[in-house]
Amino acid sequence: MQADTPSERPTGTRLTSFVNDGLTFDVIDEGPLDGIPIVLLHGFPQTAAQWSRLTPFLHERGYRTIAPDQRGYSPGARPRGRFAYRISALVGDTVALITALGGEPVHLAGHDWGSTVAWATAAQHPDLVRTLTSVSVPHPMAFARSLLSSSQALRTCYMALFQVPWIPEVALSAAFRAAGSAGDTSLRRRAAALSGLDDEQLDRLRSDIVDGGALHYALNWYRAMPFVDRRRAGQKVSAPTTHVSSTRDVFIARRGAELTAEYVTGPFDHEILDATHWVPEERPADLAAIIVARTRAAG
């Protein structure tokens, strides 16, 4: 495949970590150093390794990918207390990452919670985002409206359960360890049927999130939801944007994707893939092509 030929490509050394708010974040920086940078934000309950099936397709096209382990997932970035995980803090981390890359605007893509952070970053810092590709989770206000006009409230009722202290940690740790065990094929089959996670994802979830000590801090993202700034939640995005939804997503109703165009003032596309919630792992080549199409359309 032929590499893209932008008029200006950043150069430098690999970014293995960056610091914000006194916290140190791990980064996976791959692909050609002089390639156009694409920042990839992972979701729950995953790490930057979520993108490992997708990034080779971007590297082949000449792109450089920068994927951080976000707040609570990086061992050096696990502050105590749920207030530290509010959206404004997560956006601040993304801004600090872009600044560490040189401060030039980047192509930004996010999945699940990473999509929520990407939407907020693009809305609040339009000077730092060239294009946005959101995967699974629609614009925050479109999501909020879908709670009242679709099955979305039922699909995300677990968010209320996650507000309970410690019980979710105990229950999820036990479930993830069992489903991630090579010997328990019945639990694996049930987990795959309910969520769409495959064996590799289940093993990674157990090793990186449960055994890696990230689960409590990852749940704090949900527990910080009451601290959302509602005045900013409805901010529109001016960057050229593509939203990607999937046909078999048990967590996200289609209604939110249908409403998302109302919150983008720039060029907007909605792509639908036949997949479960885990689009980057399940349809990596197709998602990479969508991201590339968005970046090329922006010039």
Average pLDDT on 287-295 reads 98
What are the C-alpha distances in Å from 299 to residues 6, 130, 267, 276, 294?
8, 10, 12, 31, 9
Q: In what order do the strands lie in the sheet with 36-41?
A: 17-20, 23-30, 63-68, 36-41, 106-111, 129-135, 241-246, 268-273
Confidence of residue 191 (pLDDT cuts 50, 70, 90): low
pLDDT of residue 8: 39
Distance CA 68, CA 30 (A): 11
d(CA 216, CA 219): 5
pLDDT band with cut points at 50, 70 and 90 for residue 182: low
pLDDT at residue 128 tops 50: yes
Identify the H or E element spanning 225: none
Which has more pLDDT, 205 or 237? Answer: 237
Q: Are 41 and 97 in contact (CB under 8 A)?
A: no
- CB neighbourhood size of 165 (10 A): 10
CA-CA-CA-CA torsion sign (266, 271, 260, 44): negative
The answer to whether 176 touches 208, Cβ cutoff 8 Å, is no
Higher pLDDT, residue 204 or 195: 204
Quote the pTM value.
Answer: 0.94
> Which CB contacts under 8 angstroms, 24+ apart, belong to 122-125?
122/237, 122/238, 122/239, 122/241, 123/232, 123/235, 123/236, 123/237, 124/91, 124/232, 124/235, 125/91, 125/95
pLDDT at 147 over 70: yes
Sole residue written with tokens 């971007």: 58
Higher pLDDT, 230 or 160: 160
Check pLDDT > 60 for residue 6: no
Fill in the amino acid letter for 298.
Answer: A
Answer yes or no: is pLDDT of 17 > 70. Answer: yes
Percent of the chain's residues with pLDDT above 70: 91
Burial 3-14 (b: 16+ CB within 10 A, else e): eeeeeebbeeee
Bond into 45 cis (ω within 30): yes
